[in-house]
Amino acid sequence: MTNRNVLISGASVAGPALAYWLHRHGFNPTIVERAPALRDGGYAVDFRGEAHLSILRRMGILDDIERARTGTGSMSYVNSAGKPVAQLPADLFAGDIEILRGDLARILYHATSEHTEYIFGDSITSLTEDADGVAVTFERSAPRRFDLVIGADGLHSNTRRLTFGPEENFVKHLGVYCAIFTTDNHLGLDHTGHAYRTANKLVAMYSARHNAEAKAVFYFGSPDLDLDRRDVARQQAILTEQFTGNGWQSDRLLHEMRHAPDFYFDSVGQVRMDAWTRGRVALVGDAAYCPSSLSGMGSGLALVGAYVLAGELAAAQGDHRVAFVRYEDEMRAYAVGCQKMGDGVAKLMVPGNRFMAAALNRYYKVMPYLPGKNMATKIARKTAENITVGEYADSCHR
């Protein structure tokens, strides 16, 4: 086995999942994460189909995820008075298992922390490759050498920028921005959610952690904004400008936003790349093939990608030149299919005018009575299962 020492950038989903499988195959993973600690909050994410569940089962974390699952049922669209006017099935949103992203990150961390070195509060500043490895410099830590470097650092990947070039060359903005944060479950939602749609906007709440809290979610249509992703005050100001007087729970949630411990704001985008590897550097998860947060496929795709990348490195005995080619061949069609799920969702989520919004609300109202009412759910499941997850033999090293 060659190239055993692997640096992974990112400690959300793809990074720890990759570290788990690399260790199983005899590699020595190190994870560097810009945040000072594990990030809580974020979306509820879901897994569906045997491809996803089989990997979670092999990792030994399926029971932990089951215990932390949201248990979210159907979602209701409401009018300005909060009266439900349409209902969408649970499987469309929650798949087979839905879990808060923060809870999933915690489970993955505990599954890997004993055999993975975690470096929090730091970030890669340069990568210099030679015949024997990669020299890495960091914002805070001393320079180190690794055999391989893997970017699992999301839509705005630092590793991708350092290796492949500027973000704008690869990230396609889908015309939508999103904000999410934790708030009180003041509506008394019971394993469900309510959403209110107006022209170019959507605001929603859904219960979380067995109804003890709720997540507030805002979507609004906009061209790409020139924003500092770390300027929370400016982000909250933009959200306030967009949603003040919007109706339903908008104003109350905007007030509660100021006290949220986990406010998150970002553009909705996809990553399109002709190649996910270059030399001794590879990308996995959203850094390589983000299908967008609206697709419902991001976490499952990241999980499968991490499993395949680690497996191909093991099968090639650490020869990255062979393994990276096989990884791209195995994942390309699957990633493209998952991205197609997110292509048209943005326009449906926030239709551009009030006539389209009203028409969509009326369609959702009658959808349960239409012949093709389960079509979207079936397409999502078929897409999630459109890969055969092979077996990669574990190393004797544990």
> How confident is the model over 160-165, as a mean pLDDT?
98
Query: pLDDT for 352-362, tens place per residue?
Result: 667 666 666 66
What distances in angstroms separate CA 147 from CA 19, 128, 319, one per listed residue? 14, 11, 10
Task: Flag the least confident range among 19-23, 74-78, 143-147, 249-253.
Answer: 74-78
Model confidence over 172-224: pLDDT tens digits? 999 999 999 999 999 999 999 999 989 889 999 999 888 999 999 999 999 99
Q: How far is CA 110 from the centre of its chain?
A: 19
**Residue 396 pLDDT > 60, yes or no?**
no
What pLDDT does 75 receive? 83
Q: Which of 202, 234, 248 is nearest to 221 (CA)?
A: 202
The predicted structure's pLDDT at residue 381 = 72
Q: What's the pLDDT at 71?
A: 79
Q: Distance between CA 284 and CA 153 in Å, rounded?
A: 8
Residue type, 269: G
Tokens linked to 255: 């007030």
Measured at the CA of 269, the angle between CA 379 and CA 194, to 5 degrees, comes to 65
pLDDT digits (tens, 9 = 90+) for 309-325: 999 999 999 999 999 99
Over 90: is that where the pLDDT of 138 sits?
yes
Question: How high does pLDDT run on average in the chain?
Answer: 89
Task: Identify the pLDDT of residue 91.
Answer: 62
- The model's pLDDT over 53-97, given as tens digits with 9 standing for 90+, comes to 999 999 999 999 999 888 777 788 899 999 988 877 666 666 678
Q: How many CB atoms lie within 10 A of CB 189?
A: 18
Mean pLDDT, residues 42-57: 87
pLDDT by residue (tens digit) across 261-279? 899 999 999 999 999 999 9
Among the listed residues 295, 315, 337, 279, the one whose alpha carbon sits nearest the alpha carbon of residue 148: 279
Q: In 3D, which of 115, 48, 21, 83 has the Cα closest to residue 310?
A: 21
Q: Range with the lowest mean pLDDT among 41-50, 99-108, 111-120? A: 41-50
The per-residue pLDDT for 397 is: 43
Contact 267, 350 (CB under 8 A): no
CATH of domain 5-351+376-384: 3.50.50.60
Mean per-residue pLDDT for 134-153? 98
Q: Are 160 and 287 in contact (CB under 8 A)?
A: yes
pTM, two decimals, is 0.90
Q: Which SS3 state, helix, strand or coil, does residue 92 take? A: helix
**Among 128, 52, 86, CA closest to 308:** 52
Q: State how far Cα 313 lies from the chain centre.
A: 24
> Domain-by-domain residue ranges, the chain?
5-351+376-384
Q: Tell me the two tokens of residue 352.
A: 């551009």
pLDDT, residue 364, reads 64
pLDDT digits (tens, 9 = 90+) for 233-256: 999 999 999 999 999 999 999 999
Measure the CA angle with vertex 228, ends 137 and 242; round to 5°.
155
